[in-house]
Amino acid sequence: GSEAEAFAITCPLITKADGTKFGKTESGNVWLDTRYNSPYKFYQFWLNVSDEDAKRYIRIFTLLDRETVEALTAEHEAAPHLRILQKRLAQEITTMIHSKEEYEKAVEASAILFGGSTSEALRKLDEETLLQVFEGVPQFRIARAELGLPFVDLCAEKAQVFPSKGECRKMVQGGGVSLNKEKVADAAREVTEADLIAGKYLLVQKGKKNYFLLIAE
């Protein structure tokens, strides 16, 4: 009988800039299967690689042509703080593996924690992504029966977001407090079931970077 030809492609072992192996045996692994890495986590993995790794990975893992890669690299080196290579790398791979829609959702989710975003975008998040976005953020559990209380009581007594009611009122008056990405104008405003995200979460923000997640049970 006729013998079929077989072909193989080989690739050098891929390592990170620190010399460690890129793969599931090392910490910080990335999975294609959404059971192990959600599209958001997948996107964040590529977004957070080092500059040196981004320069290599964009050549290995994307289908961008040489001219485009060289232009992106030059643009990145002119302004490394903008993370141009990482953003394009994350865009290309997330779109390729998951879809353009999942990529756009991952960008929106990232903006909620790391940039300007809206209450509408926050409410679009599914529960799994919400918990991943705010992983590591201080969490407080409250009883559902406590919904209906004034914001100041909920956040200073039932949850220790503020050390005192006075501190809460002061920050609210200064315009530095948000609930679900919307400014709290009155510390006495009631917090109700309608405020819950995904039916059980409240996101309180103090200043620009301090987040707290309240979970109604």
Q: pTM (2 decimals)?
A: 0.71
Q: Tens-of-pLDDT digits for all 217 residues of the chain?
A: 568 899 998 877 888 877 777 765 555 678 888 888 889 889 999 999 999 999 999 999 999 999 999 999 999 999 999 999 999 999 999 999 999 999 998 898 888 877 667 788 888 888 888 888 888 889 999 999 999 999 999 999 999 999 999 999 999 999 999 999 999 999 999 999 999 999 999 999 998 889 999 999 9
User: 45: exposed, middle or buried (C-beta count within 10 Å: 0-12, 13-18, 19+)?
Assistant: middle
- Which domains are assigned to the chain? 39-126 (1.10.240.10), 139-216 (3.10.290.10)
- Please tell me the distance from the alpha carbon of residue 142 to that of residue 101, in angstroms, as a whole number: 34
Which pLDDT score, from 0 to 100, does residue 24 have? Answer: 53
Q: What are phi and psi of 15, to 5 degrees?
A: -120, 165
181-216 per-residue burial string, b: 16 or more CB within 10 A, e: under 16? beebeebeeebeeebbbeeebbbbbbeeeebbbbeb
Strand partners, 206: 177, 210
**96: helix, strand or coil:** helix
Asked if 34 contacts 86 with a C-beta cutoff of 8 angstroms, the reply is no
